[in-house]
Structure 1
Amino acid sequence: MSRRNRHEEHEEHADESWLLPYSDLMTLLLALFIVLYAASSINISKLDQLSEAFNSAFSAGLGVLDKSALIESDDEASKSQKQRHEELGLKVEQEKLKQQEQENLEKLKKELDQYIKKNGLVTQLETQLNQSQLMITIRDNALFASGSAAVKPSAQQLAVAIGVMLQKYPDFEILVSGHTDNQPINTREFANNWELSSQRALNFMQVLLQNSSFDPKNFSFIGYGEYRPVDTNDTEAGRAKNRRVEVSILRKYTDNSATDTVVSAISEDLNAPAASAATTTAN
């Protein structure tokens, strides 16, 4: 009887250690279900945006953390497009101004040619329009006495007539340049051809500026002496062509090739003692 009681007591106190791993397992299962539920409610739109950002970064060959690719790409594209529009608008406007300038110069050349022909000055004046300027060439015998820089009275009328035509286009810059032949000069008034050519250019420019419609800041003069001949100095006819005054109406809008030519010419002027010594701007 005592053995039976002891056996029953042993069964009532069975081993319950299995409950500990069971409870741990249930806890893990609960945590798993919570994680799965949270994953099922993720923001799909944000996931798509992140995916697109990664695709953009990888396809452009950029790093994932590249700020310019992931964040600022839209802003940079907008700025670049705006800049292209501004540059295009600037080019269109410049082309319009260039075309208008070309039309003005062609019209002015036509008026000058008509004046030259009407007044029988074909042998004394000529015009030439190129990519940098409209040039009016005047032979020195039409303007000055030999060895003198004083403008003849008849030449003053010519200068006034030229000024009347030029005043219709007041925004152009005007350069008056003087040239001589290579015959040496050494008088009480002029020590050399540089001084003579400079004074002639200055005097003719001053006659032009008697027209009150002109702004003197747009005018300048230069003396080249004998160093820019257009013909040989070995003959009297050639020397006569070299003695001249040129009135250049300068373009503001030129092609790159023409601009390079003008820059090269200016560089030559600055490096040449004849030009540097004789160049002056009207005050």
Structure 2
Amino acid sequence: MARKRKHHHEEHVDESWLIPYADMLTLLLALFIVLFAVSSVDAEKYQQLMTVFNENFQGGSGILEHPNPSPLPDAKETQDEPTDVITQEKYDLMSLKQEIDQYITDQDLEGDLQTSISDDGLLLTILDNALFHSGSADVRADAVRLAGKVSELLASDPPRKIVVAGHTDDVPIHNANFRSNWDLSAQRALNFMKILIDSENLDPQNLSATGYGEYQPVASNDTDEGRSKNRRVEVLILPNYQFD
């Protein structure tokens, strides 16, 4: 009697997961290569990789299709250029300060005009007795020439922004023309700025005026000397680039 043969059915492991897994690995590899190419800032290599990936994954076109990227500027050039410009601006302001100082010396105006330079720009300080009569905001006739010369000195190419600020001491003022020191300081700054503009050396759109009254003193108001220093007009010439 013939024996029946037993048939053993082998179990097959489901390997369908390998396909998406392999696709995921391929995409990750593509991503890492793209990131590496971008970080290397090699425009030619980047474009070649994009072409290959588009052909393989998108049939020659798709989301990886980009125009040839412009090469990024060299990091050293990006850092050096603004540094050179700022250095030149500082040099130009310092040269302007020396020119104004020379004019002050030549005209024997050391007691009325002073200059200083900082990160804010070049500051020209004019004591009020060089420009105005006491309690008045009208620029004296003999001071108009001074304002014209200041305007000439401040002209530059490219032009700079200029802020004219008026300051007073803390002695109260209240008359038919001014209700407070704030009004007086603001009108003095405005009147001086108008003369700067009238000389046609400066563009009006680059100038502004403001008044601070007695609220930004540079000396004590307890003495005549201190009050005299506080009554002033300041002309701030702003740099074209912010200093660090």
TM range (shorter): 0.7 to 0.9
Aligned-pair distance for 1:189?
Answer: 0.7
Higher percent of residues as helix: 1
> Helix, strand or coil for the counterpart of 1:246?
strand
The corresponding residue for 1:234 is 222
Q: In the alignment, which residue of structure 2 is the partner of 1:214? A: 202
| Aligned partner letter, 1:127 | T
How many residue pairs get matched?
195
Inter-partner Cα distance in structure 1 for 2:172 and 2:40: 67
Superposed displacement of residue 251, structure 1: 1.3
User: 1:77 aligns to what?
Assistant: 40
Q: Tell me which amino acid in the other structure corresponds to 1:114.
A: Q
Match of 2:122 among 118, 129, 134: 134
> CA 1:227/1:68 → structure 2, altered by over 3 Å: closer, same or farther?
same
Which stretches of structure 1, 4 residues or more, deviate above 6 A after TM superposition? none
List per-residue Cα deviations over 1:59-79 (Å, max 9, x = no partner): xxxx76424203442134327
When the two chains are superposed, the root-mean-square deviation of aligned CA atoms in Å is 2.3
State the match for 1:115 in structure 2. 103
Q: Pick from 230, 233, 236 the counterpart of residue 245 of structure 1.
A: 233
State the match for 1:98 in structure 2.
86
C-alpha contact (below 8 Å) 1:136/1:247 kept by paired residues: yes
Q: Which runs of 5+ in 2 are unaligned?
A: 1-24, 44-69
**Which structure 2 residues correspond to residues 1-283 of structure 1 after superposition, within 5 A?**
65-66=27-28, 67-78=30-41, 82-83=71-72, 85=74, 87-256=75-244
Percent of aligned pairs with the same amino acid = 41
Counterpart of 2:60? none
Q: Contact 2:86 / 2:243 at 8 angstroms: preserved in 1? A: no
With structure 2 as the length reference, what TM-score do the two structures score? 0.74
Question: C-alpha distance in 1, partners of 2:90/2:218?
Answer: 26
TM-score normalized with structure 1 length = 0.64
Q: Which has the larger radius of gyration?
A: 1
Is the CA contact 2:164–2:208 (under 8 Å) kept in the aligned structure 1? yes
